[in-house]
Structure 1
Amino acid sequence: MKQHHFLAAAALALCAVSAQATDLMQAWQAARQHDPQAAVADAARAAGETRRAQAASLWRPNVALSGGAGRMSANSATSGAQFAAPGFGQSSGVSFDTSVNNGSSTRWSVTARQPLYNPERSAQRQQLEIGADSADLQWQAAQQDLMLVTTQRYFDMVLAERKLALLRQQQTAVDRAFTEAKDRFELGDAPITDTHEASARARGLQAQVLAAQSELELAQTILLDATGLSPDALQVMAPAGEVAPRDLPPLAQWLTLAQENNPLLRLQRANADAARQETRKHSALAAPTLDLVAQAGRERLSGSGDFGAASNTSRQQMIGLQLNVPLYTGGMRSAKLDEALRLEDKARAEVELASQQTRQQTRAAWLGLQTGQARLSALAEAVTASQARLGATRLGRQVGDRTTLDLLNAENDASAADLALLQARIEVLQNRLRLQALAGQLDEAQLLQVSALLQN
């Protein structure tokens, strides 16, 4: 409860920083409520939870009531019977005949059955319990995946906005250079090539701006569809400052956490357990079963027949043990068992494959974080150097030491360096969240820490 209060307070604090901006945490909370992927995960988890009740019901008694009514004819003939009654003595070789034609027939019975020993049911119960656990793991994996997808969509819009802004800034500079080159050519102070170079660059930038506008519109639409926010309320923020973690635990620690806690890897292990129980279930088809059975019933036939009015009533009550021993199934049991054994081998191989992929992905994310700080420092220095070069090139262009093409190239390089730094910061943050997800530790607290690194 304290953690939830802390998350709520921190989210409110972030909102107070910028009332207009939408931070990553707000985007996630909106996606959690609106994205169909979240609804699918919640429904699947709720459905999986019902398997626990199914598992428990396998060892509870089953009670059934059956009844029927209709018209019935019955005739019976008994000969060679012995008859004795008070006052009549004893007679042998007596015959009895009964007859009911189109009489009224009613019957009912109640049967209760309690399994006592049933290996197949034991395996089924284990499978259902594993299925419920698997549903929880699938939900956890879906939650983490939705966090990563929401983060990717958010940062895609951040990059698209920055790219468009830089292109427009560059376009303004190119238009200014084009006007200046044309004026200087008319004065005879610059060759016509400067005008052509500036014009060609301006047309190329115009095409890039149109493409960037489409890219931004698409990124915005995807994020709006996922969060349900209005376009006016969606103002994303970009990462700034130090985004790489200061103290990164060693790779061996992350690999251990991932092997123990990765939800998809744990899900594969659960599937392997279910496959083993399937093998056990088919092996148990040849095993005997023992049930406690209780039954009570009544049958009545009444009407008239060849000998006048007649009726027959029969009542049964029984309680005892019922033993079933399978003898021959036509080869189906052995065929099913062979299939289950092969599927068990497949499930074990899938666990090994998932373990290998998890190790590789964990190593890649960790290496991305380990080199992230050095990479960011280098790119920050590149931005500073490109801005210094741009300033020097502008000055050189004014005094005639640099051409218009030199200035345009400097403008382009400065914009590219700025965009590369932003992209590197985003990749570091994504690797940070990805590493947490691989270790099964990505939650709202981790997402909130990343959201705090964004600035409007």
Structure 2
Amino acid sequence: MDPRHILSCLACISLPVQALDLREAWNLLQYQGPTYLAAVHEKEAGEENRAIGKAGLLPQINASAYDNHVNGTQKKPDALGRNTEDDLHYESKGGSVQLRQAIFNKQKMAEYRQGKQQADYSVAVFDAKSQDAAVRLAGRYFDVLLAHETIDLAKAKLKAFEEQVTSTQRRFDLGDGTITDVDEATARRDLALAELIEAQDSLLVARRLLQEYLGEVPEQLATLRESFPTPPLEPSSLPDWVLKAQSDNPVLQARRYSVSAAEEEVNKAKAGHWPTLDFVLGYTSADSESVSTLNQRNDYGSVGVEMNIPLYSGGFVSARARQAVATRDQTQEEFNAAREEIISGTTREFRGVQSGEARVRALEKAVTSSEKSLDSSKKGFLAGTSTNVDILNAEELVFTARRNLFEAKLRYLLSKLRLAAAIGALGDDDIDQANTYLGPELMF
């Protein structure tokens, strides 16, 4: 991990009064997030496949030693042809060292190539999981912001409806209103209270989900700024994004490596029909190695080549090869399915960014127009052209428009992060760009 990330995390941990923003949350996730760290260890384990595959092509050196105590009898004829029996009681000690180097072994070569593919697969999987972790982190972070904003709006709505209840009750007491107005305002107030309770529950759950991902949850978070620029996408053409996704998406890259590894599994299985040729070098040293060498010490070395030719294994090799072919074909079809899924996802997020920009602008206008409508309803009520229900409906529209606008902004940012992840380009710069939209601090 980049030491700067660690220092940044330690800095934000040592300053609890500072609100945590999205970039600091990303640094914290990389430092102590259990999901992210699990992916790191998975990648480290997978990268060892490169060395494991290469090991079969390197010299194999083995040593053995023994120290035996032998007791028994030996029967043999004497000079007159009579059988004699001798007691045997001796120590047999020895050791040997052997070096074996593969000269021709198609199975070991396939394992070597497969190890490289599996290691590259692990790196691609980590890239995919890392970018997915960034998107999920942003989603959970934004869920907390949305839940907090919903509480603030629910409180404001409850306060407005409580004022309406007080106002309508006063007018009714003065004989200038109806009980229907009082009941309507009371009903809206009670619904607003229920919505506030639900929003508070949602915030509790959202904070817990963020804590699950980060390992802790801060007491302060940075929320959205008032200004919300929506620059055009670069490139602006969907086919360009789709082409980039098919080329660089880490999930598809991992699938490609998986297909290649499966192809090497086929080669490895078929190699069971091929002979192997090894260079063998050995040295043995032994005392009383056998009955015929009692009280003798033998020291000898050997050098040569060894060929093994498989003749028949009960059909195992052929069955294993057919199984590997079927698995390879399955892996290829899974790659095809993943490619179509990535294309669909890229299209969805591209449209999400484009329509998200339009939706944000439309909702900004909706907030302004709903606020004007509320003001007009209040003036109309005083003039006798609007009813109390008109005011309540206008109040409802204002708060709904404000919440929808806040949510649309968060969805726009999340779609941009997902689109970057779809083409395998989501990195620190994208996190930093999304982080520029955050500023004011939230207290919990």
TM-score, with normalisation over the residues of structure 1? 0.88
2:242, 2:346 within 8 Å by CA — same for their partners in 1? yes
Query: Could you say which residue in structure 1 is the equivalent of 2:158?
Result: 171
When residues 334 and 62 of structure 1 are mapped into structure 2, their CA distance, relative to the original with a 3 A threshold, is same
Question: Which of 30, 55, 58 is the aligned partner of 1:60?
Answer: 58
When residues 34 and 350 of structure 1 are mapped into structure 2, their CA distance, relative to the original with a 3 A threshold, is same
When residues 9 and 377 of structure 1 are mapped into structure 2, their CA distance, relative to the original with a 3 A threshold, is farther
2-side partners of 1:124 and 1:288: how far apart?
A: 16
Question: Which of 277, 281, 292 is the aligned partner of 1:294?
Answer: 281
Structure 1 position 310, deviation (Å): 5.8
Two-structure CA RMSD over aligned residues (Å): 3.1
- In structure 1, give the amino acid aligned to 2:222: V
What is the correspondence of 1:227-246 to structure 2 with a 5 Å cutoff?
227-232=214-219, 234-238=220-224, 240-246=226-232
Query: Could you say which residue in structure 1 is the equivalent of 2:119?
Result: 132
Measured against aligned partners, the alpha-carbon deviations of 1:10-66 in whole angstroms (never above 9, x if no partner) come to 99xx9xxxx743221112112222221011011111112222222232211111111
Query: Could you say which residue in structure 1 is the equivalent of 2:412?
Result: 428
Measured against aligned partners, the alpha-carbon deviations of 1:370-392 in whole angstroms (never above 9, x if no partner) come to 22322222111111110100111
Query: Could you say which residue in structure 1 is the equivalent of 2:198?
Result: 211
Paired residue secondary structure (1:162): helix
Structure 1 position 4, deviation (Å): 9.8
When residues 343 and 78 of structure 1 are mapped into structure 2, their CA distance, relative to the original with a 3 A threshold, is farther
Structure 1 position 299, deviation (Å): 3.2
**Structure 1 stretch displaced more, 223-232 or 360-369:** 223-232
Query: Are 1:221 and 2:222 matched, yes or no?
Result: no
- In structure 2, give the amino acid aligned to 1:238: L
When residues 435 and 332 of structure 1 are mapped into structure 2, their CA distance, relative to the original with a 3 A threshold, is same
Structure 1 position 231, deviation (Å): 4.2
When residues 98 and 254 of structure 1 are mapped into structure 2, their CA distance, relative to the original with a 3 A threshold, is farther
Query: Could you say which residue in structure 2 is the equivalent of 1:202?
Result: 189
2-side partners of 1:303 and 1:210: how far apart?
A: 89
Paired residue secondary structure (2:403): helix
2-side partners of 1:77 and 1:335: how far apart?
A: 53
1-side partners of 2:273 and 2:376: how far apart?
A: 88
Structure 1 position 142, deviation (Å): 1.3
- In structure 2, give the amino acid aligned to 1:377: R
Question: Which of 225, 249, 252 is the aligned partner of 1:265?
Answer: 252
Paired residue secondary structure (1:197): helix
Tell which structure's C-alpha radius of gyration is larger: 1
1:244, 1:429 within 8 Å by CA — same for their partners in 2? no
Measured against aligned partners, the alpha-carbon deviations of 1:240-275 in whole angstroms (never above 9, x if no partner) come to 433433243111111111011100011111111111
1-side partners of 2:308 and 2:432: how far apart?
A: 60
1-side partners of 2:428 and 2:377: how far apart?
A: 47
Query: Could you say which residue in structure 2 is the equivalent of 1:119?
Result: 106
Query: Could you say which residue in structure 1 is the equivalent of 2:432?
Result: 448
Q: Unpaired runs of 5+ in structure 1? A: 81-93
Q: Unpaired runs of 5+ in structure 2? A: none
TM-score, with normalisation over the residues of structure 2? 0.90
How many residue pairs are counted as aligned between the two chains? Answer: 433
Query: Are 1:46 and 2:68 matched, yes or no?
Result: no
1:194, 1:405 within 8 Å by CA — same for their partners in 2? yes
Structure 1 position 69, deviation (Å): 1.5
Question: Which of 49, 68, 71 is the aligned partner of 2:69?
Answer: 71
Query: Are 1:394 and 2:381 matched, yes or no?
Result: no
Query: Could you say which residue in structure 2 is the equivalent of 1:281?
Result: 268
2-side partners of 1:53 and 1:136: how far apart?
A: 15
Query: Could you say which residue in structure 2 is the equivalent of 1:83?
Result: none
**Structure 1 stretch displaced more, 258-267 or 248-257:** 248-257
Question: Which of 22, 25, 28 is the aligned partner of 2:23?
Answer: 25
When residues 8 and 245 of structure 1 are mapped into structure 2, their CA distance, relative to the original with a 3 A threshold, is farther
- In structure 2, give the amino acid aligned to 1:119: K
Measured against aligned partners, the alpha-carbon deviations of 1:275-315 in whole angstroms (never above 9, x if no partner) come to 1000000000110101000112133329999xxx9624444
Structure 1 position 210, deviation (Å): 0.7
Structure 1 position 454, deviation (Å): 2.0
Question: Which of 235, 240, 248 is the aligned partner of 2:234?
Answer: 248
Query: Are 1:334 and 2:318 matched, yes or no?
Result: yes
Paired residue secondary structure (1:66): strand
- In structure 2, give the amino acid aligned to 1:382: A
1-side partners of 2:6 and 2:243: how far apart?
A: 31
1-side partners of 2:397 and 2:321: how far apart?
A: 66
1-side partners of 2:77 and 2:368: how far apart?
A: 115
Structure 1 position 9, deviation (Å): 13
Query: Are 1:417 and 2:415 matched, yes or no?
Result: no
2-side partners of 1:39 and 1:251: how far apart?
A: 34
1:69, 1:107 within 8 Å by CA — same for their partners in 2? yes
Paired residue secondary structure (1:311): coil
Paired residue secondary structure (1:237): strand
Structure 1 position 74, deviation (Å): 6.5
